[in-house]
Chain A
């Protein structure tokens, strides 16, 4: 990023349309706003984010290239424009605004999305699907953030993801990898070959090109094969009852 994208003339041009803010986590004691990344919910380096003048998160770019930055900036500008028109009294724009905000992930909780959705009486099938997708994405994110440590926590998370999976709507974006990853682990523990295969296929699609994932994928493929060949269910040992003669 620093050796490539951020040094390009395209990025330089893009940077003039925004306030480019460079935040460095330094581990220097007493430095102001040292923990800003974690305060903003960032999970690693590098993280890119759009904020408003109050410091509220507006969204994250969909990809790491200038075209994606421009696209996200365009969507944010459209939201701002809708807000202005609504404030000026223009009617019938509220559901457009809601959909645009959902697409940008501008809601913090599942409850917030559901509450807001209730205020719309007539939504199209497409709009309902957009809401359902956003709710699932948030559910996965909330489950991840509240995950308890250790194998038990992981099993609980897997169980939640299995329930989401069975409803047939899956998360997109950031939460996609963790969702399929944990579901794969859970299905493996449960020796549920069918679900494990689906989850593993998604893991391969998302991480297949990453060097670090190759060993993991190979191992999971072998494990899946073993489960498929061994039968989907763990065969319980027969209990031979002793007849006590009296």
Chain B
């Protein structure tokens, strides 16, 4: 029987996230994050990268927060 895993691929990916990488990989994970932040799209908007800061600015400016969730641990 074909598993529905494929069909639900976008729904399933998220379940595996947020497991911390092994200690020896930590350096690599930091490098991956640095690479991500150096990408062109990051400079195309005044992105806030801290959650508390985003809420603070939203309150001050009376705006809503638009979150873009992405990952750096794998491409």
Chain A contact residues, CB within 8 Å of chain B: 1-3, 6-8, 11-12, 14-29, 32-38, 40, 42-55, 58, 69, 73, 76, 144, 154, 177-178, 181-182, 185, 203, 207, 212-213, 216, 219-220
Contact B11 A35, beta carbon cutoff 8 Å:
no
Contact A18 B4, beta carbon cutoff 8 Å:
no
- Residue pairs across A and B with Cβ atoms less than 8 A apart, 20 shown, are A2-B41, A3-B41, A7-B44, A19-B58, A19-B61, A19-B66, A23-B69, A24-B49, A25-B71, A26-B33, A27-B19, A27-B25, A29-B21, A38-B14, A38-B18, A44-B10, A44-B12, A47-B14, A55-B55, A178-B8
> Which of the listed residues B33, B46, B48, B71 has the most CB atoms from chain A within 10 Å of its own CB?
B71
Contact B66 A25, beta carbon cutoff 8 Å:
no
Taking A25-B17, A48-B67 as given, write out 4 further A-B residue pairs in contact, using a Cβ cutoff of 8 Å, ordered by the A residue number. Answer: A28-B20, A44-B13, A44-B14, A216-B6
Contact A37 B44, beta carbon cutoff 8 Å:
no
B1 to chain A, nearest CB (A): 8
**B interface, size bucket:** 35 or more
Partner of A2, one of B15, B17, B39: B39
When distances are taken between beta carbons in the complex, the residues of chain A under 8 Å from B21 are: 27-29
A1 to B51, CA, bound (A): 21
Q: Chain A residue with minimal CB distance to B49?
A: A22
B25 to chain A, nearest CB (A): 8
Contact B64 A177, beta carbon cutoff 8 Å:
no
B15 to chain A, nearest CB (A): 8
Given A23-B70, A25-B72, A44-B13, check contact A177 B8 (CB 8 Å).
Answer: yes
Chain B contact residues, CB within 8 Å of chain A: 1-2, 4, 6-15, 17-21, 23, 25-26, 29-30, 32-33, 36-37, 39-42, 44-51, 54-55, 57-59, 61, 63-73
Given A44-B11, A177-B7, check contact A29 B18 (CB 8 Å).
Answer: no
When distances are taken between beta carbons in the complex, the residues of chain A under 8 Å from B37 are: 24
Given A7-B44, A28-B26, A33-B51, check contact A52 B64 (CB 8 Å).
Answer: yes
A182 to B1, CA, bound (A): 13
When distances are taken between beta carbons in the complex, the residues of chain A under 8 Å from B54 are: 19, 21, 51
A18 to B18, CA, bound (A): 27
